[in-house]
Amino acid sequence: MAAPSSLLKVEEIQGRGRGMVASQPLKAGQSVLRDSPILQYSALPLIRQSLSSSSSASASCFCDHCFKTLPPLQGDSSSCTVLCPNCCHHYFCSSKCLSKALNNSHSSWVCQALSHLRANSLLLEQPLERQVQANFLIAAYNLANFSPSDFQIMLSLQGSPEESTIAAAQFLHPLISPRNEFSLELTSALLANDKLNAFGIMQSFSEHDDQRSVRAYGIYPYASFLTMIAFPMPADLITLTLIHLMTAIILTLLFG
């Protein structure tokens, strides 16, 4: 995968794997990386019974496409929040966001697959994490259909299946894989990549609630190299400032 700008380059670092290296001297306050997600998926469990009573009350407080906070649902038509026309589980912040979702992230196949999983009582017997992994796999399979190039980029990220991801794949694969188009090995590889490369998208800060939780996860292909990033200067002179937005990750260097 090519570097995102002329300021950085991707190299194989001996004993550490691939990482980003500065290709030229960098200046104070310079933004060196801007990255957008190729995939996003909900961090909420699929089955409402899996949530605590306090969590259940806020289970639909985010747009299921852009993951912005939704206003409180109203009993009249004054709210701009719209419901998926094919199910009663997914809410969107506007008709525009719904339209985008129906043509991409919440396609008819995604809607049907999520509904099918909600009706599967076996999920309740699994760890709660399994439902979030199911969200990811459905989003990943959908990405393969809508953007094969982004799907290949996601597959190229680092990740190696281990016992826990293989066990998850063995359970989820027969429940999700559309028409058996994807192998069990590919499902295991996807889960391994997600485990190492997903960034959590947190709830907004509130002075009335110090229990912030993750509302969604995103795969940012270049930001995944942030765990392995090198610059041609002493490390103690550098502070990395990471601004995590809904649609982009921005990395800025500050010197001091």
How far is C-alpha 132 from the chain's CA centre? 10
- Which value, to the nearest 10 degrees, does the dihedral of the CA atoms of residues 192, 161, 8, 36 take? -10
Helix (H, G, I), strand (E, B) or coil at 254: strand
pLDDT at 242: 45
Helices (H), 15-162: 53-57, 95-102, 108-118, 129-146, 148-156
pLDDT at 102: 94
pLDDT at 230: 42
Helix (H, G, I), strand (E, B) or coil at 90: coil
Cβ count near 148 (within 10 Å): 10
**CA-atom Rg of the chain in angstroms:** 20
pLDDT at 55: 47
All residue ranges of the chain with pLDDT < 70 are 1-5, 15-18, 48-60, 73-79, 179-180, 204-212, 226-256
Distance CA 6, CA 233 (A): 18
pLDDT at 100: 94
Which residues, at least 6 apart from 148, have a Cβ–Cβ distance to it below 8 Å? Answer: none
